[in-house]
Amino acid sequence: MNDCERQLAVASFLYDEAALLDAQRHREWLDLLSQRLVYEAPVSVSLARGERRAPAAGHYFRETRDSLAVRVDRLYSGHAHADDPPWLTRRMVSNVQVLAVRETGEVDLRSNLLLLRSRGDSASLLGAERLDTLADEGGRWRLLRRTILLAHTVLPGPDLPVFM
């Protein structure tokens, strides 16, 4: 696969992932995730101009594929009262960059995400930079690692959408 083909393939993966989540096709989304997945959002901190990003003081969440599967199952259980009715969402993925291609075939990516969610008269926007690693598993891309770097030091709502 040449560089252009790889860029198109990984960007398409991210766009397809966003479409599945916006369509609330969560079980299909789980099929995009590696069994070895690490899915995390470290706490964001404000830094003075010129300071480098400090190591996270903690995480808003740190998940595995199995813990995400439990959350997805809960959505369909009738007991996810905070998500009933479900939020309407739109995920805008942009600035997709291939950072590195490893000898193993894994691809490190950077992308931006803007997530709009609304329900009734309530709406919120979340912005983030995402650092992902995709792995070719059985001829299909799977998300192996995602670190979500929120552009917020204070969350703009009562909770944090899990699937970003």
Domain boundaries, the chain: 3-150
Note the pLDDT of residue 55.
56
Rg (CA), the chain: 16
Note the pLDDT of residue 64.
97
Note the pLDDT of residue 10.
96
Residue 98 CA to residue 48 CA, distance in Å, equals 28
Question: Quick one: tokens of 32?
Answer: 């995009």
> What CATH number should be reported for the domain whose range is 3-150?
3.10.450.50
Note the pLDDT of residue 53.
59
Look at the alpha carbons of 20, 25, 28, 32 in this order and tell me if their dihedral is positive or negative.
positive
Note the pLDDT of residue 155.
74
Contacts of 140 (CB under 8 A, 6+ apart): none
Predicted confidence pLDDT, tens digits, the chain (164 residues): 899 999 999 999 999 999 999 999 999 999 999 999 999 999 877 666 666 555 557 888 899 999 999 999 988 887 666 666 788 999 999 999 999 999 999 999 999 999 999 988 888 899 999 999 999 999 999 999 999 999 887 776 666 667 99
Q: Which of 36, 37, 16, 40 has its CA nearest to residue 28?
A: 16
